[in-house]
Amino acid sequence: MFHATINSQTSTPLLRVWVKATLANGEWKDTLVAAANLKLPRPTIYRAVCERLEMVDRITDAVECFHEMTSESGGEVYMTGPMTEWVCDFTQRRLSANDNATSKTPLLREWAKARLTRDSWKDTILSAVGFTVSRVEVYRVICERLEMIDRIADGVECFHEMISELGAATIKLHDEHMDWALDFGQRAPEKLECLGDKALDNQRYDDAITLYSIALSLISSSPQAVLIKRSKAWLATGSWKQALEDANQVVVLDPSSPWGYEMKHAALHKGGEYDNAADALEMMLRRMEECSSTKVTGTSLHRAHERRFAKLSNGLSTIRHASTFESLSVFKELVSSTMTRIDYVRIKREVRQYFRYVMLSHNWEDNEPLFQQVVHIAVYDLEKSPTHDKLQTFCKIVLDAGFNWAWSDTCCVDKSDNFVLQEALVAMFRWYQGSAMVIVFLRGVRPSSPRGALARSIWNTRAWTLQEDLDLPNHKESPEIISEMEQATGVSTQQLMVLHPGFSSIREKLRLASTRSTTRVEDAAYSLLGIFSAVGIPAIYGEGEASLGRLLANVLTRSGDASILAWTGESSPVFHGPEMSHLPPPIPNSESECIVTGLPTPSFDLDTALRLYDRLNELPTPRFAESRMTLPSIAFQLPPLSASRTGSGRVYHVGTHAFGRVEIRTRHNLSRANSLHLIHPWSDTLLEHENSAFVEDDEETSGEGIHDEGSDENSSSLPPIRIVPMDRETGARRLAARLRQPFGALLLTLEPTGRRAGELRQTA
């Protein structure tokens, strides 16, 4: 009777009566099973069951039922309106009660999650007075939640409040919390500094100052880098006195560094104190000279400045010391001019002009001239050979073009020095980016070669040349060359124009890398270190495919982009996934738009799609810790499968509430699998936050294109490009379209017996 009459139009009291009756005759889990056909939201039913269990003093069952609700709903679904209030009240009561029904840490996390959706962190802390858990744990859970929802600045303030209230001595009494406090104190400043850098780049100077200041409150040693950045932000707002204060701190902390004096000079110059600014400039130049002549002894590591180039005037490999510039007449003229007026623009221009360098992009061949050869023998005096001729021709072209310095990876990197080699592997991408020009040597390709020779060149097949191909802009300005590059890579012209280092378009960069070959297995990973700025990964030749595993772990942790794991193919030792050549390309924009516009209107609920889009947007990013990966996923338990065979494997069909009719293709036999669970690893890139539509400019949009500041805007015959941001509704529709496409998934099954009985293991 009750079961038949309860629906969304009936009152809550009727549901409570039904719950009371069903609980009197069975367990709470049976009650939830019986409620499967009720036309009510599942959280509403859970709430009624929890309230009844609590009322009859079945506290353990009430707490278990509550956790079942949060697990089933994904932890966020119930966080709306009245449910938030009830979660706050329920967890508050249980955390204040003197019972040991279950561990209270999960309740504490749900309490913090609910509270912080409506209250400030300070009010949340105050509401925890009277809890039967330690204050340290309360603070920790709140800090963790604030960090998870990207309120890291609030998290640091909460952390300081914990230290102020409890004292470091109290925290040290809790070993597990002490480890967390130390880790948080190290992790938070890095995140704050990164956010500050973005604010500074976007000219949000006040935000940058705030973020840098909070980061500095946690940095106990070597804060010079953040102080210099905050000084720049202060200076950009016109607050030269605050900028000077930060610069002076840097000078005190590291008197041997020129960069504190550089900021001191800039601040004093901004404030009109020109005499003092001249003194600071003189100190900066003196420190730069001392740094360039400092020898490496003990822990004094200035080796990062010892980058070598071929000095074209004599053909020897040498370091670009400041002393080489100081010997020029233009240097003496500049120093003299600063006594009356500092022309900072001219100083920078003259220094940059002299130290500009040109790099060679090529494929290594047999008998290349190495570092040890050109240290003592001029490039022009090397014995005759094809590879020596290549280097000599390169240097002559660069010298004739008016440059003083040239760089080639064959002879300008001492590969016998692990420190130098490691630095070069990571920084080479930036070096190419910072060069004045790059000359590409294409063996076998001549000016008279027919169209297509460039696309077929070995230069387009090797892993190490990918970084030059991605980052160098000049060859992309030629319609003929970019057309052949499109043919060689399979990437559209517009995509090639916007591919840059960093974490954008990670899958596309990995796909491109998978088409390149290497002499050594490890170079498949090491050639990508610079592209992804993977500074924490040492080059260890001999480790094999593990190098790719370490790279992907680094990229996944720092970017949060789980789409790099969405591979198909046979398993290999790296990540239980295949080699990169099996990485499928993403859905093209044009195809995706067709899918979106083709969505059947009656079956598409925009409100539901928007809610799903927002909730998925709040999922935490993947991360690695202690060789284990935490990967947000969408999980479904599957009913029994029906099987059929094809020439390439097995096909299974199953009906689900979530997906409707599902077809599963696999080589694995699932006929005996017990209690299958379908796991869809979630990738934040499916939300397409940064997805943009590339539109050719017409007369109305002229001037809005993307241009390189240092280039001639008319040098390229390609039309300029403007980026059209994607709105939330379009993002939700595209998400729905993507979720209707085939996707790679994991199939897990329950272990029925044995030591791991009840645990899930991967079966396909």
User: CA 171 to CA 184: how far, in whole Å?
Assistant: 13
Q: Which amino acid is at 29?
A: K
Q: What is the mean pLDDT of residues 490-514?
A: 76
pLDDT at 714: 37
Beta strand pairing call for 357-361 and 437-440: parallel
Give the distance from CA 1 to its chain's centroid. 56
Q: Please check whether residue 193 is in contact with residue 215, taking contact to mean a CB–CB distance below 8 angstroms.
A: yes
Helix (H) or strand (E) holding 506: helix 506-514
pLDDT at 566: 61
Task: Read off the pLDDT band of 397 (50, 70, 90).
Answer: very high
Give the distance from CA 161 to its chain's centroid. 30
- Tokens (6 digits) for 670: 């699932």
User: CA 472 to CA 360: how far, in whole Å?
Assistant: 12
- Cβ within 8 Å of residue 545, ≥6 positions away: 521, 572, 573, 574
What tens digit of pLDDT does each residue of 657-707 get?
Answer: 655 677 888 877 777 776 788 777 776 666 665 444 333 333 333 333 333
Q: Which CATH architecture has domain 221-293?
A: Alpha Horseshoe (1.25)
What tens digit of pLDDT does each residue of 1-12 get?
Answer: 445 455 444 457
The helix/strand/coil state of 168 is helix
Question: Is pLDDT above 80 for 26?
Answer: no
Of the candidates 678, 696, 690, the residue with the CA atom closest to the CA atom of residue 734: 690
CA atoms within 13 A on the CB side of 87: 30
Burial 515-529 (b: 16+ CB within 10 A, else e): ebeeeebbbbbbbbb
What tens digit of pLDDT does each residue of 423-459 get?
Answer: 788 788 888 888 888 888 888 788 777 777 877 888 8
The residue behind tokens 């061949």 is: 365
Helix runs in 672-753, H state only: 728-739
Between 76 and 370, where is the model more confident? 370
Number of H helices, E strands in the chain: 32, 16
Q: What average pLDDT is seen over the chain?
A: 75
Three-state SS sequence of 83-101:
HHHHHHHHHHHHHHCCCCC
Question: Is pLDDT above 90 for 556?
Answer: no
Question: Is pLDDT above 70 for 411?
Answer: yes
Q: What is the pTM of this model?
A: 0.47
Between 418 and 139, where is the model more confident? 139
Task: Read off the pLDDT band of 734 (50, 70, 90).
Answer: confident
pLDDT at 586: 44
Question: Is pLDDT above 90 for 488?
Answer: no
Question: Is pLDDT above 80 for 644?
Answer: no
Q: What is the mean pLDDT of residues 275-285?
A: 81
pLDDT at 525: 86
Longest CA pairwise span in the chain (Å): 101
Q: What is the mean pLDDT of residues 467-496?
A: 74
Between 499 and 646, where is the model more confident? 499
The helix/strand/coil state of 665 is strand
User: CA 69 to CA 87: how far, in whole Å?
Assistant: 11
Q: Please check whether residue 487 is in contact with residue 460, taking contact to mean a CB–CB distance below 8 angstroms.
A: no
pLDDT at 301: 31
Q: Which amino acid is at 536?
A: G
Question: Is pLDDT above 80 for 327?
Answer: no
pLDDT at 231: 92
Question: Is pLDDT above 80 for 217?
Answer: yes
pLDDT at 175: 65
User: CA 91 to CA 519: how far, in whole Å?
Assistant: 60
Q: What is the mean pLDDT of residues 334-339?
A: 59
Question: Is pLDDT above 50 for 94?
Answer: yes
- Tokens (6 digits) for 494: 């517009």
Which stretch of 80-84, 99-103, 413-417, 589-593 has the lowest confidence by average pLDDT? 589-593
Question: Is pLDDT above 60 for 720?
Answer: no
pLDDT at 426: 76
Of the candidates 137, 57, 149, the residue with the CA atom closest to the CA atom of residue 95: 137
**Phi, psi angle pair for 639, to nearest 5°:** -75, 175
pLDDT at 233: 92
Of the candidates 362, 585, 595, 583, the residue with the CA atom closest to the CA atom of residue 492: 585
pLDDT at 137: 87
Question: Is pLDDT above 90 for 234?
Answer: yes
Q: Where are the domains of the chain?
A: 2-133, 221-293, 308-320+351-559, 589-691+726-762
pLDDT at 589: 47
pLDDT at 333: 66
What tens digit of pLDDT does each residue of 282-326 get?
Answer: 888 778 767 644 333 333 333 334 566 766 666 666 666 666 666
